[in-house]
Amino acid sequence: MEIDPGLLFLDKEIANRRLEQVQKQLMYALADLENVRKREDAEIEARVLSLEAKAFLPVISAVDDLQRVWQQTSDQNLKEGLRMILDEFRSAFKEAGIEEIPAVGSKFDPMIHEAVGEEETDLPAGTVAVELRKGYTLKGKVLRPSIVKISKSRQVQ
């Protein structure tokens, strides 16, 4: 019994089409897997950032308190000791990716500044005139906004 060459050609064509379908499915499956990995990596990074923020916020508040003590004390030995401690914290913050948000003299930005009032100054309107509490970013994301007063034009009398 002989096999019709036309049937062999059809079987080969069907096999090639099926192979192409399987290859496409494999490509899509690999792309889906890569997307799942990327999504999981992003979720893990977001969770880590959230945990870091929760850990650093109380430390930042303590540093604020140390800064206030440093500003209020007249004891030079205490002042020098506090300065050294504050420098250590600043160094640790920098290493952890924590940076101070620029405030006084910069243009008010509601994404990084929280305005609680206005102050008449010689600065252009809409500029941060007074910083009441330092703000910080952690790896480029706002950890705590700066609390500020915004400049407004002096009233002409």
Specify the CATH superfamily of domain 98-157: Head domain of nucleotide exchange factor GrpE (2.30.22.10)
Task: Give pLDDT, residue 16.
Answer: 85
pLDDT along the chain (157 residues), means of 10: 61 84 93 95 91 91 92 92 94 93 91 91 88 92 93 71
pTM: 0.69
Q: In this structure, what are the phi and psi dihedrals at residue 150, rounded to the nearest 5 degrees?
A: -100, 145
C-alpha pair distances (Å), 56 with each of 50, 84, 104, 115, 123: 10, 19, 24, 23, 33
Give the Cα separation of 98 and 150 in Å (integer): 24
Give the Cα separation of 146 and 119 in Å (integer): 16
Sheet arrangement for strand 136-138: 98-100, 136-138, 141-144
Task: Give pLDDT, residue 133.
Answer: 92
